Amino acid sequence: MVDFAEAIEDCRLMDPGYDGAEFTWAKNGLMERLDRVLISEMTPQLFDAIRVTNLPRIASDHGPLLVRCRLPNAHGGGRAFRFQNMWVRHEGFGELVQEDWMAPTEVWASSI
C-alpha cells in the first residue's frame, strides 16, 4: 500500500471527494470505502465541475461510482453574433477582418 500511495503522490493524482453512500464495499458486517476516483491536477482545469456519487450496492459487495463532469460553456452564455452591413462601410473594416483572419489560433486540425 505504501508503494501505491507513493505512486498516487508521484503522479500528482487527487481524490475529488464524493456524494452519496459513505462506504463502497460491504461484506460480513465490514464496511469500507475501497472504490475511489482519482484525477490528475489538470482535470479541474478542463471541466467546470466534477462530481462523484457513490451509488448504493445492489447485486455486488461493491457499490458503483457515478462520475459526472460538466464541460465549460464555450459560448459563455452571450447573445448570438449579428452582422451589420453598415460595418463594411466603416473605415479600416477590411484591414481589421484581414488581420484577424490571418492571426494564428490555438485550434489544431488534422486531415483524415
Short-list 2, 71, 61, 10, CA closest to 38: 10
**Which pLDDT score, from 0 to 100, does residue 81 have?**
77
**Which pLDDT score, from 0 to 100, does residue 112 have?**
47
Check: pTM over 0.75? Answer yes or no. Answer: no
CB-CB contact of 69 with 41 (8 Å)? no
Residue tagged 451509488 (cell numbers): 55
**Which pLDDT score, from 0 to 100, does residue 108 have?**
63
**Which pLDDT score, from 0 to 100, does residue 109 have?**
56
User: What does the DSSP assignment read for the chain?
Assistant: -HHHHHHHHHTTEE----EE-S-SEEETTEEE------EETTHHHH-SEEEEEEPPPSSSSB--EEEEEEPP-TTTT-PPP---GGGGGSTTHHHHHHHHHHS--S------
**Which pLDDT score, from 0 to 100, does residue 50 have?**
92
Please list the pLDDT of the chain residue by residue as tens digits (112 residues).
Answer: 899 999 999 999 999 999 999 999 999 999 999 999 999 998 988 888 999 999 998 889 999 999 999 888 766 666 777 888 888 888 999 899 899 888 887 666 555 4
Domains of the chain by residue range = 2-77
**Which pLDDT score, from 0 to 100, does residue 110 have?**
53
Strand partners, 87: none
